[in-house]
Structure 1
Amino acid sequence: MTTRQKESSAPCHARFSGEGASSAFSPSKRRRMVTRNQPDLTFCEIILMEMEAHADAWPFLEPVNPRLVLGYRRIVKHPMDFLTMRERLLQGGYCSCEEFAADAHLVFDNCQLFNEDTSEVGLAGHAMRRFFESRWAEFYQDKDQ
């Protein structure tokens, strides 16, 4: 059995290491590998690109640095951000769109847990949640037709 076969037999969430996105495959090749087996994940990639380009995405583009944000690790037990989501998506770490959506919700839930609603980051989190929910609803509306 080759390494690649071993990886594909593992549960999707177990295949994602969370440690950087470097791989023997180029990003485009990794992307094709993911979307070939999970066509719905193409939408996840599209919505993630849209979220990353959104004006209010700045607090969520990379993991929070706990050295710069005191108390973050004490309050937020399961950190999540768009870069980690992108790495997981490219590495085939999502088995379904629902797993992807759960991570997106985790980003916004963590933001709401740690930040005041009226703070700059809190407002950005609410705007990004609305954007994600809107695009997600459009996807499922189109899927049902």
Structure 2
Amino acid sequence: MFDFDTAPIEDVYWAAQHWHQFLSSYPVTVVLELSREALATDAMIEQEGPNWMPPRYQPPGNSSPHYPRWIPFVEAWHKGPISLDAVCRVFSFRAYSGDKFEDVSPITTAIAAIEKLAGNWAAEDEKARSREISDAAPNVRGLRAMARGRSS
């Protein structure tokens, strides 16, 4: 979860350098905007100041506790399930697109909208790859002309 309301805007901008990696791990990343008011306050784990560290935890089968990876200033956690009623908006981010995204709200139609976007984006990517391949392929006429020029 990301908390863009608590940290100063300068810290949010600083943290933005970490978002690209998060949003490019898969061809499509779905982001849910949650209503803070719909979340249980005692279940929230938020960053408290610039030197904050996430809670240590000990994974099963590991002998020592460690800190999880997190994005400073803006990442937050919630203990327990989150109701779909807490979802305000749904966004779909396209990997490697300069963080291009689409608002696919409301949640009731988001899955169909995301599937459609993923199909469209896959088709666009395939066309671009085909164009790159055809542009990189040697021009047969050019090769014949070069061969004729060498033989004369």
TM category (shorter chain) comes to: under 0.3
Kindly indicate which of the two structures has a greater share of residues assigned to strand: 2
Q: TM-score, normalised by structure 2?
A: 0.26
TM-score, normalization: structure 1?
Answer: 0.27
Greater Rg over alpha carbons, structure: 2
* Higher share in helix: 1
